[in-house]
Amino acid sequence: MNDLLFRHRTGQLPIEIAAIASNHKDFYRLAASYDIPFHHLPLLQATRDTKAAQEARLWDLFCDYRIDLVVLAR
């Protein structure tokens, strides 16, 4: 993820990064350093119901930010 953010900042990746969503709250600092909104979506117990609830929250974010493309990165 850091590489994508760096390339975006330096103009090598001409995209808009609307937000970062992660189950790891450690990424908050990285997102803040690039002035990108961060959303922490913890998944404490991976059950069918908790995964479905997290996916629903992700979908809401996609709709709220009008996301066209999702990139999965670490």
Chain segment 55-65, per-residue pLDDT in tens: 999 999 999 99
- pLDDT for position 72: 87
The Cβ-side half-sphere exposure at 39, using a 13 Å CA radius, reads 14
Q: How far is CA 9 from the centre of its chain?
A: 17
| Segment 18-46 mean pLDDT | 94
pTM above 0.75, yes or no: yes
Q: How many CB atoms lie within 10 A of CB 21?
A: 19
